[in-house]
Chain A
Amino acid sequence: MKRLLGVALGILTAIGGFVDIGDLVTNAVVGSRFGMSLAWVVVIGVVGICLFANMSGRVAAVSGRATFEVIRERMGPRAGLANLGASFLINLMTVTAEIGGIALALQLASGVAYMLWVPFALLAVWLVIWRVKFSIMENVTGLVGLTLVVFAVALFLLKPDWGSLAAQALSPSVPGEESTGTYWYYAIALFGAAMTPYEVFFFSSGAVEERWKVKDLVQSRINVLLGFPLGGFLSLAIAACAAVVLLPAGISVTTLSQVVLPVAQAGGQLALAVLILGIVAATFGAALETTLSSGYTLAQYFGWPWGKFRRPAAASRFHVAMMVVLLAGVAVLATGVDPILVTEYSVVFSAIALPLTYLPILIVANDPQYMGKHVNGRAVNVAGLVYLVIILVASIAAIPLMIASGAGA
């Protein structure tokens, strides 16, 4: 019974933790402008993140080392530094976006100006990183984030034309008012939102935090293979709600306040309240994960002691680095920049940096010195190589498409 509960907890936290502000915003924008014609990208992205999260979890469980530590050893300091630089900048953008997301959601709940919530969000995120145990942090934010399933509930309540939604998804085409360049630009953005690099580093460091061993691999595989796809369904539900309510009304999503309108229409104030709770939990959880991820990558590259399992005094550089990251994120928000804009750019830049962050994992997962007999099987390697090609294509095409489409304007 206890094992069953443990397994269920793992899956549920994976679902609830899958969606962050990048997924929320990008899926809503895409749904409101392209309907379901980009749903295939979500599917590809989910399969990709399952593949790589699985690999990095396996590396951590078998070798006892987090992925980034192994990257420097295996690939040398130069490659490691390039990876670190790219990951760190993306993480910083994502932390900024997530903290902005927390503040925006709290503004929706209360009507109090968004800027006033930012310091509050900063303090709350930092306090949890400072004092709360890793497993408690993960479980609480994951479980509360599950309330985002209200998007799926709202979709049913809206009684959409399932046939036409399915037709849009299964035979994708560029809608009349949008250009092909913008379509592919948003395809890349959606891909970057699904395959966030921080997820993989967080997952493997989390495996070390929770002291996974080889026997935990089965649990990790179940979490990933059940949890992430269900999280992907949530993403599709977000896009579908926007497609059903906002697309026909001629509303293109640019703010979080528009994202919640379909759910309010479907389920009233109760659904809205549940949704806002879910958004706060999801963005809060993601803010924690990205901040920790920046700390992990820096500490693992330079060899500092790290981990929430250590007292802060025993991991000073790790904690100071995270404080600096949080303050930098808030400083960016304090300039008044729109956090939704930061979110949209962060997902595209995530897509650009993907080759740098995923190639090392593929290499390390194939190294028998670290993996012993748990190296990648042939099927996983084939899938990994296919994804590497997809990632490279997306990364190379991103900037030209950004210029050609005016960043999706």
Chain B
Amino acid sequence: MSKAKRIQPSEIRPAPRAAGKVLDAQLHLLDRQMLDVDGVPVSTVDDVELSGPEPDERIPESAPAPHITALLTGPVLGTRIFGGRPPSSRLIRIPWRVVAGVDTVITLGVRSDSLDASWVERWLRNHVIARIPGGRHDP
């Protein structure tokens, strides 16, 4: 693949001032625990999905800035550590719109059971834990 030649645009506008909170994805988002609205852990943030142009693609001049579409969890951790990327249809997403707060933990505004991300937990609960007596009792 030939390396794209850098073209200086005729006019560089100053970057828009950030509205709201400034976050660093590595420091504040990645590998953070996600808690649902009841404080129950959901998963850790294994990766972040951004909208916008793909890498090595030409960026058209008035393209909107990329924004976070979803937090990712699951097998994408393996590809994040070792390289590669799973196909888009296989990603387990937590849409950004359900995120309620970003702090030392990331709080979601919905219950864990309503999310795709907790399907393993639900599956094991229904097929294994519920079948063993005493599983639903308080300790």
Chains A and B in contact, CB within 8 Å:
yes
- Name the residue on B nearest A131 (C-beta): B134
Q: Is the CB of B136 within 8 A of A313?
A: yes
Cβ–Cβ < 8 Å partners of A317 in chain B: 120-121, 124
Cβ of B69 under 8 Å from chain A:
no
Q: Is the CB of A320 within 8 A of B44?
A: no
Distance between A133 CB and nearest chain B CB, rounded to angstroms: 5
Q: How far is the CA of A77 from the CA of B135 in the complex (A)?
A: 31
Q: Is the CB of A304 within 8 A of B43?
A: yes
Q: Is the CB of A313 within 8 A of B81?
A: no
Q: Is the CB of B139 within 8 A of A133?
A: yes
Q: Is the CB of A130 within 8 A of B124?
A: no
Q: Is the CB of A311 within 8 A of B139?
A: yes
Distance between B100 CB and nearest chain A CB, rounded to angstroms: 17
Cβ of A303 under 8 Å from chain B:
yes
- Name the residue on A nearest B77 (C-beta): A77
Cβ–Cβ < 8 Å partners of B137 in chain A: 131, 311
A-B contacts, 22 listed (Cβ < 8 Å): A72-B44, A73-B33, A77-B31, A77-B46, A131-B134, A131-B139, A134-B139, A301-B44, A303-B34, A303-B41, A303-B73, A305-B112, A305-B121, A311-B139, A313-B130, A313-B136, A316-B124, A316-B125, A320-B124, A320-B128, A320-B129, A369-B104
Q: Is the CB of A316 within 8 A of B80?
A: no
Q: How far is the CA of A78 from the CA of B82 in the complex (A)?
A: 9
Chain A 52-79: CB-based contact to B (< 8 A → 1; otherwise 0): 0000000000000000010011001110
Query: What is the total of A-B residue contacts with beta carbons within 8 Å?
Result: 77
Q: Is the CB of B44 within 8 A of A313?
A: no
Q: Which of A301, A303, A319 has the most CB of B within 10 A?
A: A303
Q: How far is the CA of A310 from the CA of B139 in the complex (A)?
A: 7
Cβ of B54 under 8 Å from chain A:
no
Secondary structure at chain A's binding surface: helix, strand, loop or mixed? helix
Cβ–Cβ < 8 Å partners of B70 in chain A: none
B residues 71-86 with Cβ under 8 Å of A?
73, 77, 80-81
Cβ of B40 under 8 Å from chain A:
yes
Distance between B59 CB and nearest chain A CB, rounded to angstroms: 29
Q: Is the CB of B128 within 8 A of A316?
A: yes
Q: Known contacts A69-B33, A76-B31; decide if A316 and B44 are in contact (CB<8 Å).
A: no
Cβ–Cβ < 8 Å partners of B136 in chain A: 311-313
Nearest 3 CB-CB pairs, A to B? Answer: A303-B44, A316-B124, A316-B125
Partner of A304, one of B41, B81, B134: B41
A residues 69-125 with Cβ under 8 Å of B?
69, 72-73, 76-78, 80-81
Q: Is the CB of A303 within 8 A of B124?
A: no
A residues 355-409 with Cβ under 8 Å of B?
369-370
Q: Is the CB of B135 within 8 A of A308?
A: no
Chain B 9-46: CB-based contact to A (< 8 A → 1; otherwise 0): 00000000000000000000001111000001111101
Task: Give 17 new A-B contacts, CB below 8 A, not counting A76-B31, A305-B41, A306-B41.
Answer: A72-B44, A77-B80, A80-B31, A130-B132, A133-B139, A301-B44, A303-B41, A304-B41, A304-B43, A309-B139, A311-B137, A311-B139, A313-B125, A313-B130, A316-B122, A316-B129, A369-B104
Q: Is the CB of B135 within 8 A of A312?
A: yes
Distance between B46 CB and nearest chain A CB, rounded to angstroms: 8
Cβ–Cβ < 8 Å partners of B128 in chain A: 316, 320
Cβ of B61 under 8 Å from chain A:
no
Chain A 27-62: CB-based contact to B (< 8 A → 1; otherwise 0): 000000000000000000000000000000000000
Distance between A17 CB and nearest chain B CB, rounded to angstroms: 20
Q: Is the CB of A313 within 8 A of B41?
A: no
> Which residues of A line the B interface, CB within 8 A?
69, 72-73, 76-78, 80-81, 130-134, 301-306, 308-314, 316-317, 319-320, 369-370
Partner of A311, one of B34, B81, B132, B135: B135
Q: Is the CB of B32 within 8 A of A73?
A: yes
Cβ–Cβ < 8 Å partners of A134 in chain B: 139
Cβ of B57 under 8 Å from chain A:
no
Cβ of B56 under 8 Å from chain A:
no
Cβ–Cβ < 8 Å partners of A309 in chain B: 139
Cβ–Cβ < 8 Å partners of B112 in chain A: 305
Distance between A130 CB and nearest chain B CB, rounded to angstroms: 6
Q: Known contacts A77-B31, A77-B81, A317-B121; decide if A312 and B41 are in contact (CB<8 Å).
A: no
Cβ–Cβ < 8 Å partners of A73 in chain B: 31-33
Q: How far is the CA of A304 from the CA of B80 in the complex (A)?
A: 19
Q: How far is the CA of A306 from the CA of B42 in the complex (A)?
A: 10
Q: Is the CB of B135 within 8 A of A313?
A: yes
Q: How far is the CA of A211 from the CA of B20 in the complex (A)?
A: 34
Distance between B87 CB and nearest chain A CB, rounded to angstroms: 21
- Name the residue on A nearest B42 (C-beta): A303
Cβ–Cβ < 8 Å partners of B31 in chain A: 72-73, 76-77, 80
Distance between B42 CB and nearest chain A CB, rounded to angstroms: 7
- Name the residue on B nearest A78 (C-beta): B81
Cβ–Cβ < 8 Å partners of B42 in chain A: 303
Partner of A302, one of B43, B124, B125, B132: B43
Q: Which of A130, A132, A310 has the most CB of B within 10 A?
A: A130
